[in-house]
């Protein structure tokens, strides 16, 4: 087995330039949160790579979201298969590539989505190619790539697809952003996005203020109420991140709205979270105003199950045995699709992608050497699963 592993590692070493070339190619494709055509172009490029490895495919298309790519190599194995998963869209709006093209400086790669998470997907694809190069066929390998994760699947049913496709598999590796301190994510908070709107009564601020009902003033009270819902003991945090309202300073505003971000640990907490926000909405400070609360979208929490813990130990051993460092189990506040494979009963580890920092910002970077290291790590993990 060690000899086979070294041959697979050598495959990665022999294809480093090719990996970087593919990385650059897909980063250069527009994959912003609303760039359906560009995301589908990325999907087509990844499909071509997998097609060369004999994968069977299904592409699920959505009217207003990037496609979801499902590929599978090998079937009818006695051992449960493994999943490599991720998302092809980025959080960076269109046009950023022209301003910040893919570049490498001092061992770091820069560009929109270079870290989150096109580099991780490239690493996974070359782990598959390396495994195929040594004739690996102990388990089927399924690739699940979403096209709209950065907008929390607002325009698709990707969460249901993840859960359905993952059923019966033995392990899942999410190629999300890797951490420079070697943290491997075993738990994530869920995310809920909620809109609160207030309608008031417009009036001239100088001549007729007594007949106005300020939507902004009503909202000001409710922003404080929403923020005060935070429950640190239960790991639930509320954040009013956007406020909009009014048209001119000379008028009593008749409309205001806020967008609320909620992070929570337990999937079953969401109904109570919604009730608390609705209670805030139902409380009236300024008579004559009316409030509406709307759940927009979200991602469920990734639970740290016993299976997740056991898979982390596999990753940890593979990490240490191959000189990649000493990883530790990490729980974070950001959501990911790992939640859905865990809900499907599949042990899952997250943040297995290239290492770097500053994702979702103009300074986003990835450590180039980690592209090759993570491909090898995946190879080592899959081979180690066969020995436990």
Q: Hey, what are 61's tokens? A: 């298309």
- The Cα 333–Cα 345 span in angstroms is 21
The beta strand positions in the chain, using DSSP E, are 56-60, 68-73, 82-87, 103-105, 108-110, 141-146, 171-174, 178-179, 183-188, 190-199, 203-204, 237-245, 251-252, 255-264, 290-299, 328-332, 348-349, 355-357, 365-367
Other beta carbons less than 10 A from residue 331's beta carbon:
14
Domain boundaries, given as residue ranges, for the chain: 2-188+301-385, 190-299
According to DSSP, residue 32 is labeled -
CA geometry: angle 372, 374, 377, nearest 5 deg: 115
pLDDT (tens digit per residue) in 214-263: 999 999 999 999 999 999 999 999 999 999 999 999 999 999 999 999 99
Q: 192 - beta bridge partners? A: 262, 298
Q: Which residues are catalytic?
A: 89, 149
**Res 63 pLDDT > 80:** yes
Please tell me the CATH superfamily of domain 2-188+301-385, with its number.
Zn peptidases (3.40.630.10)
pLDDT (tens digit per residue) in 282-331: 999 999 999 999 999 999 999 999 999 999 999 999 999 999 999 999 99
| Chain centroid offset of residue 37 CA | 20
Q: Hey, what are 361's tokens? A: 């910002």
What's the alpha-carbon Rg for the chain, to the nearest Å? 23
| Chain centroid offset of residue 108 CA | 22
Mean pLDDT of 44-71: 95
- The Cα 69–Cα 270 span in angstroms is 29
pTM for the model stands at 0.93
pLDDT (tens digit per residue) in 131-178: 999 999 999 999 999 999 999 999 999 999 999 999 999 999 999 999
% residues pLDDT > 70 (the chain): 100
CATH of domain 190-299: 3.30.70.360
- The Cα 301–Cα 273 span in angstroms is 14
Domains 2-188+301-385 and 190-299 fall in the same CATH topology: no
**Res 1 pLDDT > 70:** no
């Amino acid at each position: 087995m060690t000899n086979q592993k070294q041959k697979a590692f050598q495959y990665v070493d022999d294809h480093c330039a090719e990996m970087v070339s593919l990385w650059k190619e897909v980063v250069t494709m527009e994959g912003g949160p609303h760039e359906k055509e560009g995301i589908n172009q990325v999907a087509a490029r990844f499909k071509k790579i997998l097609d060369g490895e004999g994968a069977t495919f299904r592409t699920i298309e959505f009217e207003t979201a990037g496609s979801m790519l499902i590929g599978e190599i090998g079937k009818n194995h006695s051992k449960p298969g493994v999943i490599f998963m991720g998302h092809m869209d980025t959080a960076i709006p269109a046009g950023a590539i022209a301003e910040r093209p893919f570049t490498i400086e001092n061992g770091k790669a820069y560009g929109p989505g270079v870290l989150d998470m096109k580099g991780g997907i490239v690493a996974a694809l070359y782990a598959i190619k390396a495994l195929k190069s040594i004739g690996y066929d102990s388990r089927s390998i399924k690739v699940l790539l979403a096209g709209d994760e950065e907008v929390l699947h607002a325009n698709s049913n990707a969460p249901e697809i993840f859960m359905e496709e993952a059923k019966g598999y033995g392990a899942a590796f999410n190629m999300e952003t890797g951490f420079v301190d070697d943290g491997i994510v075993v738990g994530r908070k869920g995310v809920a996005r909620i809109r609160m709107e207030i309608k008031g009564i417009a009036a001239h601020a100088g001549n007729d203020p007594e007949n106005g009902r300020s939507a902004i003033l009503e909202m000001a009270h409710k922003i404080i109420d929403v923020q005060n819902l935070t429950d640190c003991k239960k790991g639930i945090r509320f954040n009013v991140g956007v406020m909009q309202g009014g048209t001119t300073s000379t008028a009593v505003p008749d409309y205001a709205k806020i967008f609320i971000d909620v992070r929570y640990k337990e999937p079953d907490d969401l109904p109570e979270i919604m009730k608390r926000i609705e209670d805030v909405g139902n409380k009236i400070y300024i008579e004559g105003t009316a409030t509406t609360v709307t759940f927009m979208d979200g991602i469920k929490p990734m639970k740290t199950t016993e299976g997740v813990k056991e898979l982390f130990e596999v990753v940890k051993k593979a990490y240490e045995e191959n000189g990649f460092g000493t990883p530790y189990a990490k729980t974070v506040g950001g959501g990911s699709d790992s939640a859905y494979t865990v809900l499907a009963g599949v042990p899952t580890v997250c943040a297995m992608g290239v290492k770097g920092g500053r994702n979702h910002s103009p300074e986003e970077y990835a450590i180039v050497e980690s592209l090759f290291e993570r491909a090898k790590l995946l190879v080592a993990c899959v081979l180690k699963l066969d020995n436990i």
